Structures are given as C-alpha cells and as structure tokens.
Copies of this chain bind each other. A is one copy, B any other.
Amino acid sequence: MVTNDKFYLSLALNEAWKYQGLTYPNPAVGCAITDKNGALLAVAAHKKAGLPHAELEAAKEALTKLNPLLIFPSEPNELYAFISKNHNNLLKNSTFYVTLEPCSHQGLTPPCAHLVVTLGARKVFIGSLDKTKKAKGGAQILRKSGIEVEEGVLKKECNELLEPFLLWQGGSFSFFKLALRLDGTYDNGIITSHEARVFMHKMRSVCDLIVIGGETLRADNPVLDARLVNGKAPDVLICTTKNIEKNANVFSVKNRKVLVQNSLEFPKKYKNIMIEGGSNFLRAMNGKTDRFLIFHGSDFGLSGSKRIETDLKLKLLYQGCVGNCSFGWHSKVI
C-alpha cells in the first residue's frame, strides 16, 4: 500500500464515514494531520453537531500527542480559542488532509480555515469543495495566507461522503435502515449487537423524522425513541391505510409528534429522515429512499423469520463494523 497523500486522506475519509448519519445538520467530515516531517499526528472526524469540526478535533488530537500535559476545554468555542492561543507553533509546517474544504464562516465555532492559518500549516489537501453560500471560500483564505492547497484528491469518494449533507441542504435526505441476520432474515427479535443498537439510537436521536409502515407498527409495536443514548425521540410518520391502535407504544413518548397518513409523501419540514421497516415497506419506499444503511448481525436465523423480497441492486459506498456486526452504506445503482 503506498503511504502517500491519498492514503492520509483515505484515513480521514474512513474516520468520517464512521459518523455518517450522526452529524446532521452538519456534514460528515474527516481530517488527518501530519507534522513537518510527515509523521501522522491525528486522524479525526466531526462526530456530532455541537462538537468540534474535524479540523479542530484533529488539531486537539495532534497537540495532545505532541504535548500530553495540555488540558483542553471541551466546549468547542473555548477549545478553538485555547488552541489558537496555546498551539505554541507545534503544528507549524504541518499538512492537513480534509475531506471537505475548511469552512470560512462563523457558525457555532469560528472558521476552520482561520484555525489552519493560525496553526501555520504548510499545505492542505482537500477532497470536496464546499459550495454552500455560507461556508465556501475556505481554500481562498488558506491560499491568501500562503498555504499551498491541493483540491480534488479522492474527489469522487469525498463527494460520496458529502452527498447526504447536500441532499438535506437542498430539501431532504432519507435513508432506509435494515437490520438483518447473516442469512437475511429479520423479525422483531434481537438481530444486532448492543453496540449496533446504540449506534442506531444515536442516529435516531439526530433524525427529525422516522417513517414506518402500518405493518411494522402492528407486528412490532416499536417505541422508536433513542432511549439507549438518552437522546431526543424524533417525530414519527406512520404510513398506513388502516386504523392505528391508539395505545401503540409510539404514542407513549413525550414531546414528539406522531403523524398518521395514507400517503407515502414526507411532510416538507423534515430534512433528515430515517425509514425503518421490512420487505414490503422497503419496496414501497424504494423511489423515496436516497441511501440504504444495512446492518448484518453475526447470527443466522431460525426458520419462520421474515425475509426481504426485492430485486434492488445497490452500490456499496462504505463498509464498517460496530460491535459484532457489519454495516454498509449503499446507494442505488441507476
């Protein structure tokens, strides 16, 4: 394996994919840093809105490695200020590898492009350019400060990582989550590991809508909250032509809306939409699904369990592991 600039960016890319689905309304972004001699100092990602951007997180990780005595504040604004003051030129002439152009705007934290300038980086490799009105222009800030910038490294792969963000920015992003056994079976028993279910609850907690069909409601009577991570329960849309049991568990959660409708259209106000269900709902939602997130547990099923029936053909974008499960992000083959 050639350990070149693409390799370092691919480390950042892989790290970012681990948090795909968790960063809404922000994009999934990864960042690696090497020092002036080329030694790897950090591979980090943006993990969640309200936590540091990838560049800030990577800078913290790099400085921790170089000076383990530093004690960093956890609040991102304070962290940004602290690092800007206390970096002590430790990252002078470093190289940054970012999957997305560093932001140029004051959001929850000040612009990442300014941070990279402050730290004295020598070169920045960028995967995707940021074309949002709000945040674009980071590369220009870097160049104006004399930092060498190389754009478009692993562009296709970085664009794939970014696409969910572009979709919800432009309207809405929807993904169908399936949890299957190794043999493709599913039912309302436990299919995936505890770690995988925690991961899915984290995702639920940042979705603003979960969509299910009436069949899932009747068969599983799910709560559809994010209790494993003490997270916010998203609103729920139940698509059904039949009457709904008023005591269903989904109604037991406070501070969430439950919508019941017989059409498959998503209400416009929701931007990050998770679809859960089985075989019939997967087929019904096919045309309205942007991505497929498919977990495979490590057990085989028992006869009598349900199975997916569809002739969908998918493209594997990223394959990861959590607990004893594997999961893949897929797009449709068009």
Contact = CB atoms under 8 A, between A and B. Distances in A.
Interface of A: 1-4, 7, 15, 34-35, 37-44, 61, 65, 180-185, 294, 296, 298-303, 307-316, 319-321, 324-326, 328, 330, 333
Given A1-B44, A184-B184, 6 more contacts: A2-B61, A34-B39, A37-B37, A182-B314, A301-B309, A302-B311
Contacts of A311: 299-302
Contact of A38 (B37, B42, B303, B310): B37
Contact of A184 (B43, B182, B310, B328): B182
Contacts of A312: 299-300
Contacts of A3: 40-43, 61, 65
A15 B1 contact: yes
Contact of A316 (B41, B294, B313, B326): B326
Contacts of A44: 1
A326 B326 contact: yes
B296 A296 contact: yes
A313 to B, nearest CB: 5
Contact of A300 (B2, B65, B308): B308
A326 B321 contact: no
Assembly of this chain: how many copies?
Answer: 2
Contacts of A41: 3
7 contacts: A1-B43, A34-B39, A182-B294, A300-B309, A301-B309, A316-B324, A319-B326
A183 B182 contact: no
Q: Closest 6 A-B residue pairs measured CB to CB? A: A184-B184, A38-B39, A183-B184, A37-B37, A183-B308, A298-B314
Nearest to A323: B316
A303 B313 contact: no
Nearest to A3: B40
Contacts of A42: 1, 3
A324 B329 CA distance: 12
A312 B41 CA distance: 42
Contacts of A303: 309
Contacts of A182: 180, 184, 294, 308, 314
A1 B19 CA distance: 13
B319 A324 contact: no
Contacts of A34: 39
Contacts of A4: 65
Contacts of A2: 61, 65
A41 B3 CA distance: 6
Contacts of A319: 319-321, 326
Contacts of A180: 182-184
Contact of A185 (B61, B184, B328): B184
A233 to B, nearest CB: 29
A10 B221 CA distance: 42
A324 B328 CA distance: 11
A327 to B, nearest CB: 9
A313 B298 contact: yes
A316 B307 contact: no
A314 B323 CA distance: 12
A313 B326 contact: no
